[in-house]
Amino acid sequence: MPVHTYTNWNSRPSDQEEQVEPFRKYYFICEGANTETFYFEKLIDLRKELGIHPLIDIRLWEKTEGDKNISFAKNLVTFAKEQKRLEENEFDPDRDKMIIVFDGDIFEEKVQGYDELIASIEEQDIAAVSNPGFELFLLLHIDGSFEKYIQGHESDFLTMVDGKYAYAYNVLLDATGMNAKKNANIGNLAENIMIAIRQEKLINQDIHQLKGKVSSNIGLIIEAIINEEPDI
């Protein structure tokens, strides 16, 4: 089975209660195999504390086995669309939404076709992009991080060193003492999602105007889910 679905949706709290199905499910599928998984699993566990409507569910599709290393954004989109068609994944195209999470850094210099990729995703789904990468979004969860680490250092985040955009990773490592790629505790930053939502508004959130800008719209998407009231 190419994906494992992580959810804490309790469809049947007790034998006495009528079984309830979610009105809408948001499925996150991510480019990274570790860091994003640590984060979104924790976020899903916090869904009640965040006040997400009881009929809105958030789930993570985790790539498994041979598909675990699918990372190039275009291939990830193709893979995700294939998953939507599998009956066992319980994706309802009329109600559910898929959120494809990927880094913008690869489009800064090397890869073309970003605008076309976003357009193809937005035909049916939601693109969640951080530039240079997911570590930037995690950094926003630390109160005061915009002023301390990001403001005035934007060019550092988007400067490639030895073929990598490692600045955000290194700043996050210094700020938390955790290797975001290996330490599952990095996911606990999700407890500060409201801080991240607030601070993300201080950087570029328009993923259609991403190139050359420190950017993220992940908090914007999560904020919309938190605030959604199903029209039942």
In a domain, 15, yes or no: no
The verdict on residue 14 lying in a domain is no
Q: What is the pLDDT of residue 70?
A: 56
Does 138 fall in a domain?
A: yes
Bin 90: left if φ > 0, else alpha if -120 < ψ < 50, else beta. Answer: left
**91: CB partners within 8 A, 6+ apart:** 25, 27, 83, 84, 85, 98
Residue 159 counted as domain residue: yes
| CA-closest candidate to residue 127, choices 73, 52, 203 | 73
Q: What is the pTM of this model?
A: 0.91
Share of the chain above pLDDT 90, in %: 69
Among 20-34, 84-98, 146-160, 171-185, the range scoring the smallest mean pLDDT is: 20-34
- Tens of pLDDT, residue by residue over 203-213, are 999 999 999 99
In-domain check, residue 4:
no
Domain of residue 180, residue span = 21-227
Confidence of residue 10 (pLDDT cuts 50, 70, 90): low
Residue ranges in 23-62 assigned as alpha helix (H):
35-45
Q: Is residue 2 part of a domain?
A: no
Q: How many domains does the chain have?
A: 1
Q: Is residue 60 part of a domain?
A: yes
CA dist 76 to 28, 36, 46, 79, 161, Å?
12, 14, 26, 5, 26
How many residues comprise the chain? 232
Q: Is 87 contained in some domain? A: yes
Token couple for 31: 């480019």
